[in-house]
Amino acid sequence: MAGLQAARAKGRRGGRPTVMDPDTLAAARARQANGQTPTQIAKALGVSRATIYRYINHESA
């Protein structure tokens, strides 16, 4: 626990890095506004279809 606290004090975060940064999310939203399907968006951005659904549904909820 002390090691985790020391890492946090240095600005480190644990866990898996996120795939959808703000730029990628903006691109996904723009593609959705242009009428592309989640499958097409996922393929173009190089992420999974589930990731697209997760972020799109999170935004609308």
Cβ of 58: how many Cβ atoms within 10 Å? 10
Say yes or no to pLDDT of 59 above 70: no
Report yes or no: 55 and 25 within 8 Å, Cβ to Cβ.
Answer: yes
Report yes or no: 49 and 40 within 8 Å, Cβ to Cβ.
Answer: no
- What's the domain count of the chain? 1
Give residue-wise pLDDT tens across range 6-50.
999 998 888 888 889 999 999 999 999 999 999 999 999 999 999
User: What CATH number does the domain containing 28 carry?
Assistant: 1.10.10
pTM as predicted: 0.71
Q: Which residue has the tokens 């691109």?
A: 27
Within a domain: residue 52? yes
- Give the range of the structural domain holding residue 35, as residue numbers without chain letter: 18-60
Within a domain: residue 6? no
What's the CA gap between 59 and 32, in Å, rounded? Answer: 12
Q: Which residue has the tokens 């399907």?
A: 37
Within a domain: residue 2? no
